[in-house]
Structure 1
Amino acid sequence: MAQHTPDLPPELRPLSEMPWFKRLAARFFGHGLTRLRAQHRASWLHGQADGFRSGHTAGVDYGYKEGKLEGLEEGRQVLLIRDSRSTEHRPPSVDNHLFDDWRLPLSAELKKRMKADVASLLPAHAQPSVAQWKMIFSDTPSTSVIAGAGAGKSTTLVLRILLLVHYLGFELDSMTVVTFTRESRKDFINKLIELFGLWGRALGQKQARELVRTFHSRILPMVRSLPGFERLQAFENLSQRPPGGDEDVDSNPFDLRINDVQRQQLNACYHRLFTEDERFRELIQPLSRHALQLKELELDHPDVQKRVAVTELAAKRDEELCDVIEDLWFRAGAWPIKGIEPNRQVFEINGSRFHSHGYIPSLDAWVVLGFDPRENPQVCRPNAKLSVRAEWAVKRTLFQAFCRKPLIWIDSYESSKRVLASLAGDASAGPGFDYKVKGELASAPLLDCFVAAAGFIENLGLDVPDAVGRMSFSKDDPDRFFFEALSLFWRAFEDHLLDQKPPVMTYNRMFALFSEHSPENLKLLGDELLRPMSHLMIDEFQDVSPQIVSWIRASLAEIRSRGPAMHVGRGAQRSSLLCVGDDWQSIYGWRGSSPSYFMEFNKEFSSPSTTRVMLSDNYRSNQHIIDAAEHVVRAAPAIPGKKAKASGADRPLQPVNVLERDDQALAERLAEHYRKGDSILMLYRKSSDKSLIEQHIHHVVNVDSSLPYESRRLKQLTYHSAKGLQADAVFLLGDCQHLTSSPYKNQVYRMAGLGKTGDSEPYDSAQKDEILRLAYVGITRAVSHCYWYVEPQDAQAVNMPRASDRVAKDKAFFVDHRPPQKSA
């Protein structure tokens, strides 16, 4: 539609441009005049036609002349502009990088000078390889270093620090080296001081400790800088000794043990919540009943199969057995128990009659008294062939397999005190019962279970109450009550800790305060607290958790946002991240760690450019040990292209020997290596195995423990604790096996975005891979000899994967001594 000329008088403008009221009046009067024939329609039409012709001709002529002159001039400019731009609309892209686009100023001359210094100051065997020099001289903002077992990464990392400080003039307070444990921190500090000394730079213990940190010791000063938190203490560091000092913030992130001071805080919060919160009390009751109840046994369990045949015989002697055990409890002053009615009840087991000792009205549960372990195990009933302890064990097995009534089996006089406290509603000493969350290997005190579950959820970067609110369980699953109780308790516990004087906070809460979920909190930090995060070097990066990753990313993003002003007048500019790790040695998934952040490094830490280094030389083990360990772990997803080769001293090839479990034979072979002067690592999976083997190797233990600590050649550790260590001969006791399924961990794994899309059990899948990595860690501790003692497959875990399933009989690097019918 043609538009009107802007300078027309109002009376000649189109009707549609008149105000609404005038438009209405004009239409009304126009229709009226037409009906009255007050206008001559033919004359009007002729006039309109004549006017249109003459006006159109004049208008076209005038418009053409004027338009041509103006259009040509303006058209030149319009055409030139349109030729130089795209017709497509594109908004500017978002820069999500954590780093500026910059390079470390490394000239050819500087590299040559450092290489010459290293050649003259370090011995021949300590000279860096080509790959190690690539790590040292990486000039990009981010660097990932895949360093397999025995790759010599520590010396290389120290040389990287030397480059930054000695050759490039970076200040020590612009960087942080992160190690995971107190022990690894001490070792690295000593190596750093030693190498700096060779270059004529005196580095004191205090300076070195400021530089080499655990994550915990770096986050605590950040929180303490906030108003009101100057004297904040970490819950994990609470102990009997007075707070303060550097060691105070040097806890082991993988140590889950709860000490007495921490337990006092947990119990105090529990007592208050139990007293004040009716819903919390309601939730504790079914947990208490479930925890105290006798656990069921499957009918095909070997103990059930063995003892079901004597059911009738056991029933005949049961009343007498009840009398004997009741007398033992009475003499010990442990019976009767207040809150338990001492009324016997008859139970039918496979058509035979057995008895209980009492009834608990508040729990609607029957009670059977057990044989206290402190009593003489040889005690017998008159004329009985079996001991009371053995008869009691038969009865217990039958009740576990066939009794479906709520039944509490009190095992000891000591445990009866906890039951008594629980029945009396005395919450001042804590819940007074153990609990076993589905998927965990063993039961533990309820509050310990709360701490472990909350720690796992928070390590994944999730909030406990929020995560619990997104979980689901079947109606009768006691874990449903456990996690609702955890949600109430954890919120109350964090408030309880903050109310202490001085205030207390968990490390997970500290990291959450400065994570990507709370970037505004980082704005409150002064430059001096953020500057040490500018140039981060992190060892053992495969064991990092989602919570830590979020804190690192948030810190780097804040440093970049502050720009050059943060580094004015300093040698160290901008920021960088160098991470060293080995996804094959990621063995802390049960605590919430994940190797995915290292495997997907470029995606997780966005950078304009990244250097990737593969350290493939192994300076520790012979090639057979390397190949055997890699053969086991290759079934797990990994960074592609990994293959280690033995370097350094030529060592005779010794295969990994896989043997059936025989503690006496193990002890003899261990003693033989000790006599030869070898260093020895004795690694076990279960603490009970350590006790069993010590009965056979006590002579070696006694001799070795009498020596000065630095001269000792025998160490007994769990597989997990041995990471970073090595020995001439390594003895592995026990298989690496995934034994359970964890419904709650699978749920929170999915919430955290871990695992493969569509995997309904992502945590369990991750654990099946982790058992292979754990075996890899164990085997690669060996320099020359590795002996792996494996138990026969447990009938109860026949479908559960085992690392020893990967032992290959047709490979030279394995020798499988197990009988053929029992081999993997």
Structure 2
Amino acid sequence: MPHEHPQAPADLTPPAQLPWLRRLAARLLGRGLSRLQAQHRDSWFLGHATGQRNGHADGLQEGYERGRVDGYEAGRQVLVIRDLRPDSAAVPGQDDKLFDDWRLPLTAELKKRFKADVAQRLPGDAQPSAAQWKLIFSDTPSTCVVAGAGAGKSTSLVLRILLLRHYLGYELDAMTVVTFTRESRKDFIQRLLQVFAQWQLELSPSQGRELVRTFHSRILPLVRSLPGFSQVRAFETLGNELPAGSEAAVDSNPFDLRLNDAQRQQLNLCYRDLMNDSPRFATLIGELRQEALLLKPLDPDHPDVQKRVQVTQLAAQRDEELCDVIEDLWYAAGAWPIKGIEPCRDTVQIRGSRFHVQGRLAGSGAWVVLGFDPAESSQCQRPGAKLTVRAEWAVKRTLLQAFCDKPLIWLDNYSSAKRLAAALAGDAVAGPGFEYRVKGELAAAPLLDAFVTAASFIENLGLEVGSAVAAMSFPPGDSDGPFFEALALFWKAFEAQLLAQSPPVMTYNRMFALFGENNPENLKLLPDPLLRPLAHLMIDEFQDVSPQIVSWLRASLAEIRRRGTTLHTGRGAQHSSLMCVGDDWQSIYGWRGSSPKFFMEFTKAFPSPANTRVMLVDNYRSQQHIIDAAEHLVKGTPAITGKKAKACGHAAELPLAPVRVFERDEAALAQTLIEHYQQGETVLMLFRKSIDKSLIEKHLVDVVKADSSLPPSRRRLKQLTYHSAKGLQADAVFMLGDCQYLTSSPYKNQVYRLAGLGKPGDAQAFDTAQKEEVQRLAYVGVTRAIRHCYWHVERPNGEAANLPRASGLVQGRQAFFEDLRGQ
């Protein structure tokens, strides 16, 4: 309401004015009275009223103005204050942490008591270093332990478990130690039992097995808790004669992708049904079969071609007779004729000469040529011929590869031909009957095996096969396009078939996906006793985890935090924690989908209110030259900073000897190996490929026979691949073969990027990772050695000569390498 001036009092209204004569008389009279200081009562009142009226009006005016200004200012201040308050309701934010903000309750007194007990009960050479104590006493929710080769991490982890159980009262069912293989799990359990016995603490072998697990053995009970899946089996363990629930049945090697007969039966049955039910799948298989069976062209300038082209005319003259001999062998073996292949003796032109084929594949324009089965005698000859049938057929094959412009299918042996015959006849229980080589793979594999390998790689990266295939692309005419389209159709049908079994079957990858970050609702179905063992996780060899495993770990930790105190009520173990131990220099399983990224970026992958990093750089295994040589091999790879190992303890007292590098010589290598074995040393023979083992074994027959006759505890010779040697050690290590990435994988580069791996903008992210991995593989081989390391590498030739190889980093000028190549 607007402000108004107050009205003057009604009794103060001025009277009417007097006539002028009377005013004059009043003025004269008034002057006289004033001199006499007299007062006229009515006049006084009249003047007083006028003054009062005027003063009151002025006062009201001034007060109004001042009040209006003061009131406006006060009102403005109130409005400003009110403007600072939000109109919308307040909503708290959400953090992205996987853990509560808490600390392990370790007092100075408790630490002192534990250290004293360790000093008293463990021998002097088993006493933890300062860095190892930092691992044992880490009090933050997450801990990343960078442990180089020979760092003594296992003993430190055992003492960590002892601290949690005995000194802090944590229940064993609130903890899980994860190892990757059955062998490492067995060794860790044995060490755990020994240390607990030193403290006179009761820990049964069954308790040890329950505490120390592989990822596979921990995920299976989670799936079996879901309605309808109480008896679910893993595809990877089908055909295992052990009881389905036994420990060994679930501790399969995660890096072993070989298939057994029971697994193949499931694959073949799915293939049969899909061939009948899906015309598109059948069409794709036809395309892949022709692509796989076609004889691959050979460059006319190839040395083999140049050598054999000179006898083209002579070979053509004897070709029909040669075809007769070959066909007789195939008839006798029951491998010819083949239903689906029309027998015929058509001819093809090679440099003006005619050569014969044996048939034509039905429904295509491809000719069929029968090869010489390797099982036949290598001395087999045509009557009167100078060359063996095998040699004559090799000449014909080379000429056809180099100069024939027609599509040719070359059947190499009876067994592959019989599989092809079964497939062409519709008997799909035998599988597709041909092998296929995905670009980037070193060798061809049976088609269904290739499906399993590719699907496993995609799923290990945390991707769904169908979605990943839909996001991939291939150039027109690239046979990998039909392969992956067929894979998407097959894998969907295959997983459905496995689930339809009684009891149902599921791959481990699908099990992990069921409880990954894309399916948090499944974790909510788990009872507390199944989730509780994941509350305090200690994971060894963490550099070898896959994105699929990381997703499962993150989802499980998030669910544990979501449940809060209800999961831990009335228990000594509270909250949750994660301790990961690894060495990014020993990450060597990228070919199956593992990546060191999650270890190198640990705090990003597992966000926590507080994190501890421990660097275990003391090496208790190898003499310093071994350490320096190994680290030199990986110095160019991306790695966690601050790593420089040093020999400690007994290893520091060993005499120095460089790693010796030789040109490959199996006989010389074997001789040196035998010398070390006869001196009573432990020996480790490492090889890159299985063929290398067969080449070296003929030189080691006597020592292998002598060693295998000893009790297992006294044997001193082991022969393993580079990949399977991790965790082992020997006085003398012999490495046969260089480490080199010889190919490029278009499809793996694509899915690697889809999974967010590799550097931004790197179109060959997987290839880049593999080139780095071959250096790490050499590092693993060298660091197995305690005293001596001998490395025999082949001389590079052909295309491989231009590709980077680990031995190329050996320059011969370092004290820790002795380069004896060329001497």
TM-score normalized by the length of structure 1: 0.89
Q: Distance in 2 between matches of 1:435 and 1:340?
A: 20
Q: Does 1:199 align with 2:202?
A: no
Question: Structure 1 pair 474/80, CA: closer, same or farther in 2 (3 Å)?
Answer: closer
Residue 77 of structure 1 and its aligned partner are, at CA, apart by 6.5
Equivalent in the alignment of 1:16? none
Shift of 1:797: 1.8
The 3 A distance-change label for structure 1 pair 89 and 297 is farther
SS of match in other structure, 1:428: helix
What is the rounded CA distance, in whole Å, between the counterparts of 2:64 and 2:254 in structure 1?
A: 85
Residues 622 and 787 in structure 2, CA contact (< 8 A), matched pair in contact too: yes
Which amino acid in structure 2 is aligned with residue 281 of structure 1?
A: A
Instruction: Find the aligned partners of 1:745 and 1:574 in 2 and give their Cα distance.
Output: 39
Is the counterpart of residue 328 in structure 1 residue 337 in structure 2?
Answer: no
1:694 match: 697
CA distances 1:463-518 after superposition (whole Å, capped 9, x unpaired): 00000011111221111111111101111111111111111111111111111111
Other-structure match for 2:186: 186
Structure 1 residues 717 and 301: CA distance shift in structure 2, 3 A: farther
CA 1:245–1:88: 2 relative to 1, 3 Å? closer
Aligned to 1:124: 124
**1:79 CA displacement:** 7.1
2:281 is matched with which residue?
280
User: 1:470: which partner in 2?
Assistant: 471
CA distance in 2, matches of 1:482, 1:800: 28
Within 5 Å, which residues of 2 pair with 1:197-346? 197-241=197-241, 242-346=243-347
The change in CA–CA distance for 1:146 and 1:308 in structure 2 (over 3 A counts) is farther
- Which residue type is aligned with residue 453 of structure 1? A
SS at match of 2:802: coil
Tell me, yes or no, if the aligned pair for 1:301 and 1:796 is still in contact at 8 Å.
no
Q: Is the 8 A contact 1:235 1:504 kept in 2?
A: yes
Partner of 1:613: 614
Letter in 1 for 2:350: I
Distance 1:417 1:78, change over 3 A: same
**What is residue 524 of structure 2 aligned with on the other side?**
523
- CA deviations 1:522-564 (Å, max 9, x no partner) are 1111111111111110000000000000110111111111112
For 2:358 and 2:63, the matched residues in 1 are separated by 118
Query: Could you tell me whether the CA contact under 8 Å between 2:419 and 2:430 is conserved in 1?
Result: no
d(CA) in 2 for partners of 1:278, 1:61: 101
- Per the TM alignment, residue 94 of structure 1 is displaced from its structure 2 partner at its CA by 3.2
Q: Which moved more, 1:533-542 or 1:323-332?
A: 323-332
DSSP-derived class of the 2:342 partner: coil
- The match for 1:796 is 799
Distance in structure 2 (CA, Å) of the matches to 1:539 and 1:675? 35
**In 2, Cα distance between the equivalents of 1:566 and 1:169?**
17
Per the TM alignment, residue 714 of structure 1 is displaced from its structure 2 partner at its CA by 1.0
- Provide the aligned length of Structure 1 versus Structure 2: 764
Counterpart residue number, 2:759: 756
User: Aligned with 1:758: secondary structure?
Assistant: coil
The answer to whether the 8 Å contact 2:265/2:429 transfers is: no
Aligned to 2:810: 807
Q: Which residue of 2 aligns with 1:8?
A: none
Report the CA distance between 1:428 and its aligned residue.
Answer: 2.3
Q: Does 1:386 align with 2:352?
A: no
Give unmatched runs, 5+ long, in structure 1: 6-56
What amino acid maps onto 1:564 in structure 2?
A: T
Pairwise CA distance, 1:73: 6.3
Query: Judging changes above 3 Å, is the alpha-carbon distance between structure 1 residues 243 and 90 closer, same or farther for their aligned structure 2 residues?
Result: closer
1:772 to 765, 770, 775: 775
Query: For residue 705 of structure 1, what is the aligned residue in structure 2?
Result: 708
Take 1:313 and 1:817, find their aligned partners in 2: how far apart are those partners? 48
Match of 1:161 in 2: 161
Farther off after superposition, 89-98 or 217-226: 89-98
Assess if the C-alpha contact under 8 Å between 2:423 and 2:430 holds in 1. Answer: no
Equivalents in 1 of 2:732, 2:87: separation in Å?
72
Name the CA distance, whole Å, in 2 between partners of 1:322 and 1:92: 83
CA contact (8 A) 2:543 2:599 kept: yes
* Counterpart residue identity of residue 106, structure 1: L
Letter in structure 1 aligned against 2:763: S
Equivalent residue number for residue 102 of structure 1 = 102
Give, in whole Å, the separation in 1 of the partners of 2:733 and 2:124.
28
1:348 is paired with a residue whose SS is: strand
Give the 5 Å matches for 1:581-600: 581-600=582-601
Structure 2 counterpart of 1:193, one-letter code: L
- The question of whether the paired residues in 1 share the 8 Å contact of 2:141 and 2:577 is answered with yes
Distance 1:621 1:303, change over 3 A: farther
Distance 2:731 2:630 in 1: 16
Deviations 1:751-775 (A, max 9, x none): 0010011111100000000000001
Q: Which amino acid aligns with 1:509?
A: R
Unaligned runs of 5+ in 2: 3-57
CA RMSD of aligned residues (A): 2.4
Residues 344 and 359 in structure 2, CA contact (< 8 A), matched pair in contact too: yes
Report 1:377-526 matches (<5 A): 377-526=378-527
**What percent identity do the matched residue pairs reach?**
67
Q: Distance in 2 between matches of 1:82 and 1:164?
A: 54
Q: Are residues 1:718 and 2:728 paired? A: no
String of CA shifts for 1:289-328, please: whole Å, max 9, x gaps.
Answer: 1122222334454433443343344333323322222222
Cα displacement (A) at 1:370: 1.0
What is the rounded CA distance, in whole Å, between the counterparts of 1:664 and 1:447 in structure 2?
39
Q: How far does residue 794 in structure 1 lie from its aligned partner after superposition? A: 2.6
CA distance in 1, matches of 2:327, 2:266: 37
Pairing 1:816–2:819 present: yes
Name the amino acid aligned to 1:126: A
What residue is the counterpart of 1:34 in the other structure? none
Q: Aligned equivalents of 1:63 and 1:209: distance in 2?
A: 91
Which residue type is aligned with residue 766 of structure 2? Y
Aligned to 1:175: 175
Alignment partner of 2:463: what SS? coil
- CA deviation map 1:783-813 (0-9, x unaligned): 1111111111031322222111111211111
Instruction: Give the alignment of 1:8-23 within 5 angstroms.
Output: none
More displaced, 634-643 or 587-596? Answer: 634-643
Q: Quick one: which amino acid aligns to residue 328 of structure 2?
A: D
SS across alignment from 2:699:
helix
Secondary structure of the 2:191 match is: helix
**Shift in alpha-carbon separation, 1:746–1:121, aligned structure 2, 3 A:** same
Whole-angstrom distance in 2 between the partners of 1:142 and 1:818: 47
| TM-score, length basis structure 2 | 0.89
C-alpha deviation, 1:90, in angstroms = 11
Per-residue deviation, 1:93: 4.5
Which residue of 2 is the match for residue 30 of structure 1?
A: none
CA-CA distance at 1:739 after TM superposition: 0.9
Within a 5 Å distance, the mapping from 1:552-591 to structure 2 comes to: 552-591=553-592
Shift of residue 694, structure 1, vs aligned partner: 1.0
Match of 2:561, SS state, is helix
The equivalent residue for 2:789 is: 786
Determine if contact 1:141/1:575 at 8 Å carries over to the other structure: yes
Report whether the alignment pairs 1:732 with 2:756. Answer: no
Q: CA deviation at 1:641?
A: 1.3
Is the CA contact (8 Å cut-off) linking 2:287 and 2:482 kept in structure 1? yes
CA distance in 2, matches of 1:742, 1:187: 37
Deviation of the 1:674 alpha carbon? 1.2
Q: Match for 2:122: what amino acid? A: L
Q: 1:800 & 1:302 partners in 2: Cα distance?
A: 22
Please list the CA deviations of residues 157-201 of structure 1 after superposition, one character each: whole Å capped at 9, or x if unmatched.
Answer: 101111111111111111110000111000000000110110111
The 3 A distance-change label for structure 1 pair 565 and 318 is same
Secondary structure of the 1:176 match is strand
Partner of 1:25: none
Q: 2:472 & 2:563 partners in 1: Cα distance? A: 40
1:673 and 2:688 matched: no
CA shift for structure 1 position 401:
2.7
CA distance in 2, matches of 1:239, 1:64: 101
Q: Distance in 1 between matches of 2:783 and 2:302?
A: 36
Larger deviation, residues 590-599 vs 650-659: 650-659
Check the 8 A contact 2:240/2:249 in 1, yes or no.
Answer: no
The answer on 1:623 being equivalent to 2:624 is yes
Give per-residue Cα distances to partners, 1:434-478, cap 9 Å, x unaligned.
111111111111111111111000000000000001111122111
| Inter-CA distance 72–331: structure 2 relative to 1 (3 Å threshold) | closer
- Which residue of structure 1 aligns with residue 36 of structure 2? none
Q: Does structure 2 conserve the Cα–Cα contact (< 8 Å) formed by 1:135 and 1:613?
A: yes
Distance 1:550 1:527 in 2: 20
